[in-house]
Amino acid sequence: MTAGPREPVVLTVVIDTAGRLDRYLAEALELSRTAAARLIAERCVFVSGAPARPSFVPPRGTEITVVFPEKAPRRLVAAADIPVTVVHEDDDLIVVDKPAGLVVHPAPGHWDDTLVNALAARGLALGGGAEDRPGIVHRLDKDTSGLLVVAKSERAHRTLGAALAARQVKRRYAALAWGHVGERRVAAALARHPKDRKRMAVTHEGGRHAATAFETIARGRTADLVRCTLETGRTHQIRVHLSSIGHPVVGDTTYGGSQTGRSDATRPEADALLRATPRQALHAAWLELPHPATGKTLDLRSEWPADLRPALALAVGDASLLEESKPLRYLGFFDSGPAT
């Protein structure tokens, strides 16, 4: 039997930089941009009693009413023959080691070449989440590699989502960052960049609370290997927070990591490091989470990826890392980190 319609939701805009209506709804209702745009296109979103347009920019104080249509059957996800490395799988969830360059879920421009499509090719029935991102509990940027958990049932998705919100899921990333980061915590709210909606920016008005702990694991002359521990999980959080303190991720073309910014004696080394870095040097290396059925902690780890191995060796000045099978373990990345 098809579920009946949900009760209307009334939202009041409380910030001055809400941006386009479709983007605002996606964040406010935790929908994908595609799902938010579909609600507007189907004339389910009203401002002052009239159907709204996706390009409308609601000012502070605007009251928005969303009337959800009757729930339609979940759309089938096309299967795609894309290799995926699985590090853990059971009846409730699957954890994959996502390669750089792979989008997590279908979206405009990537309808059939994503991680979700790859999992569909394995015959998996994913559960929970939006129609176009079934099972997805958290995401990684396209050019960030590493560990990502996907739920196989509605119950698992709901339980994992609650654990994530309660900060019971520990996510630690390895990054190469320009300069010397040391040990610090950055707590700075994030919002869409006012001039470039594809980017995020630190904001002092509105925005969503975001906090990240950073710790240098290995120090080089021009860049450090840094352990980044998420306390919240906002879009581009690590990249924006590191950039905001003057230490962008090496190779990050969006947030300043593609420029060495050096004019001293270390400039040749910095330039060599940048040439050896084919993408943003950010990897989701360590994931700890309570199992949604048993509550037992899953401790999952992923070593530094092969495509960034030359960059790591150059950054910390240790050529032996080119032959080391487990460079992160060798450098002490998986030793006890800061409490979160």
Instruction: Give the residue carrying structure tokens 């050896």.
Output: 276
Number of neighbouring beta carbons within 10 Å of residue 112: 13
- Distance, in Å, from the CA atom of 195 to the CA atom of 237, rounded to the nearest integer, reads 18
Q: β-strand 50-51 against 190-192: which pairing, if any? A: unpaired
CB 340 within 8 A of CB 231: yes
Q: How far is CA 186 from CA 158, 232, 295, in A?
A: 29, 11, 30
Sign of the alpha-carbon torsion through 314, 320, 324, 329? negative
Q: Determine whether 141 is an active site residue.
A: yes
Catalytic residue among 141, 143, 224, 252: 141
Count Cα atoms within 13 angstroms, Cβ side, for 209. Answer: 3
- Other residues' Cβ atoms within 10 Å of the Cβ of residue 2: 8
Structure tokens at 171: 């996510």
Catalytic residues: 141
